[in-house]
């Protein structure tokens, strides 16, 4: 058989395959989400996310050390407060749970880059991402408390803030307030394209943040829409976003790819709790090779355009990269 082109030639050894690989992965791009909870001596495994825990501050060192040891340099903090109220006031308390965690990390793990999730749903008694007016979330009132929360995180020492609430105008409001207080160099990673997704189910167990009535479809995006993602990203850029994010991950790689082609800002992808839970459950049941699936799905997310990857498998991936299983 006379074949001039034989693609298999470049697949003939592991060394050659690694030489011609199109996607390169570095642990520098991984961000590990961590749940911190008020109280002491608490390391509580999340039922729907085996292997992930809620940590009280006195126990937090264990998971931070494991991240550092694995080669992860960045964490994304979520707080679970002791008290919730209608306006989520513990979100911006000077001694709130996230603010305490930031100070702890900056003191004991100064090498870690600390990003905070800015949203109200973990702090409100009704579980919605902002302040209610009747049964809907009042956009403009919510902007005030989001900005206060972001500012309090930065004052506690956060390196970057990541608003995940999906209110209109929140990036601009946060940018203005940070700048007014002299924090013009603190970047904002905007959850620009955040879909109303069932993939967040396990997170809501972890953070005790499921809405007590209704759903989030009035502010998070409709999974049917892709052009709207461009509009959201454009607005966030106009308002000062430094990094754009797409969320969830695997099922939304087309959207990620579109943003990557269209904009020059770095694009982050959040592979969310439900994605973690699916791989974990299938792995524990023996239906799939868990490690192989973790590697392959991460590679696909980077191939589709992720510059940064937020994942509950950050530590495992950093380890796999170091072992040369992926990269
Ligand atoms: C807060 C927030 C959520 C997630 C990140 N920030 C939950 C939600 O919007 O309901 C989900 C993360 C995950 O599922 O891993 N609004």
Overall residue count recorded for the chain in this entry: 327
Q: Is 273 in the pocket of ligand 1 (CB under 6 A)?
A: yes
Task: Output the pLDDT for position 327.
Answer: 85
CA distance 259 to 246: 9
Give the torsion sign (CA, 35, 302, 265, 246). negative
Closest CA to 199 of 275, 298, 301, 300: 275
Q: Is 204 in the pocket of ligand 1 (CB under 6 A)?
A: yes
Give strand pairing partners of 33. Answer: 76
Task: Output the pLDDT for position 288.
Answer: 98
**Ligand 1 center from residue 204 Cα (angstroms):** 7
> Can you point out the beta strands (E) in the chain?
30-37, 43-45, 53-55, 74-80, 113-118, 132-133, 136-137, 160-163, 189-194, 243-247, 267-271, 308-311
DSSP class of residue 146 equals H
Task: Output the pLDDT for position 294.
Answer: 98
Give strand pairing partners of 37. Answer: 80
CA distance 54 to 33: 11
Atom of ligand 1 nearest to the CA of 209: 10
Q: Tell me the C-alpha to C-alpha distance, in Å, between residue 291 and each of 15, 42, 112.
A: 21, 28, 25
Atom of ligand 1 nearest to the CA of 220: 9
Closest CA to 207 of 33, 4, 74: 33
Task: Output the pLDDT for position 190.
Answer: 98
Nearest protein CA to atom 8 of ligand 1, as residue = 200
Residues assigned a catalytic role: 194, 247
Q: Phi/psi of residue 110, each to 5°?
A: -65, -15
Antiparallel, parallel or unpaired: β 189-194 and 160-163: unpaired
Atom of ligand 1 nearest to the CA of 210: 10
- Contact between 129 and 186 under an 8 Å Cβ cutoff? The reply is no
Q: Is 325 in the pocket of ligand 1 (CB under 6 A)?
A: no
- CA torsion 255→300→251→315, rounded to 10°? -110
CA 273 to chain centre: 10
Nearest protein CA to atom 2 of ligand 1, as residue = 164
Task: Output the pLDDT for position 242.
Answer: 98
Pocket of ligand 1, candidates 32, 88, 115, 119: which has the most ligand atoms within 8 Å of its Cβ, to mutate? 119
pLDDT, averaged in runs of 10, over the chain (327 residues)? 96 96 97 98 98 98 98 98 96 98 98 98 96 95 98 98 97 98 98 98 93 95 98 98 98 98 98 98 98 98 98 98 92
CA distance 61 to 57: 8
Q: Is 200 in the pocket of ligand 1 (CB under 6 A)?
A: yes
Q: Phi/psi of residue 260, each to 5°?
A: -65, -40
Task: Output the pLDDT for position 129.
Answer: 96
Q: Tell me the C-alpha to C-alpha distance, in Å, between residue 281 and each of 273, 275, 276, 314.
A: 12, 10, 9, 18
Q: How far apart are the first and last CA of the chain?
A: 35
Burial class (CB in 10 A: 0-12, 13-18, 19+), 211: middle
């Amino acid at each position: 058989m006379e074949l001039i082109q034989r693609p298999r030639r470049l697949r003939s050894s592991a060394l050659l395959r690694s030489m011609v690989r199109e996607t390169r992965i570095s642990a520098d791009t991984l961000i590990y989400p961590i749940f911190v909870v008020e109280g002491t001596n608490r390391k509580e495994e999340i039922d729907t996310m085996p292997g992930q825990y809620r940590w009280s501050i006195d126990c937090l060192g264990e998971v931070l050390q494991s991240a550092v040891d694995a080669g992860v340099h960045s964490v994304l903090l979520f707080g679970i407060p002791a008290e919730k109220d209608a306006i989520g006031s513990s979100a911006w308390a000077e001694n709130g749970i996230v603010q305490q965690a930031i100070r702890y990390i900056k003191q004991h793990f100064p090498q870690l880059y600390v990003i905070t999730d800015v949203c109200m749903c973990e702090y409100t008694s009704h579980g919605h991402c902002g302040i209610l007016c009747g049964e809907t979330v009042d956009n403009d009132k919510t902007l005030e408390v989001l900005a206060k929360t972001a500012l309090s995180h930065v004052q506690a020492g956060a390196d970057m803030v990541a608003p995940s609430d999906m209110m209109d105008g929140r990036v601009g409001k946060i940018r203005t307030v940070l700048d007014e207080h002299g924090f013009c160099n603190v970047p904002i990673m905007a959850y620009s394209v955040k879909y109303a997704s069932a993939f967040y189910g396990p997170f809501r167990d972890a953070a005790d943040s499921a809405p007590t009535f209704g759903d989030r479809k009035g502010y998070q995006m409709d999974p049917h829409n892709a052009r709207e993602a461009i509009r959201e990203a454009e607005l966030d850029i106009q308002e000062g976003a430094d990094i754009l994010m797409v969320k969830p991950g695997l099922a939304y790689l087309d959207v990620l790819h579109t943003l990557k082609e269209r904009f020059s800002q770095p694009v982050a992808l959040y592979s969310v709790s439900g994605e973690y839970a699916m791989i974990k459950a299938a792995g524990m049941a023996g239906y799939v090779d868990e490690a192989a699936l973790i590697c392959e799905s991460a590679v696909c997310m980077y191939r589709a355009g992720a510059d940064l990857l937020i994942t509950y498998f950050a530590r495992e991936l950093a380890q796999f990269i170091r072992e040369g299983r992926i990269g």
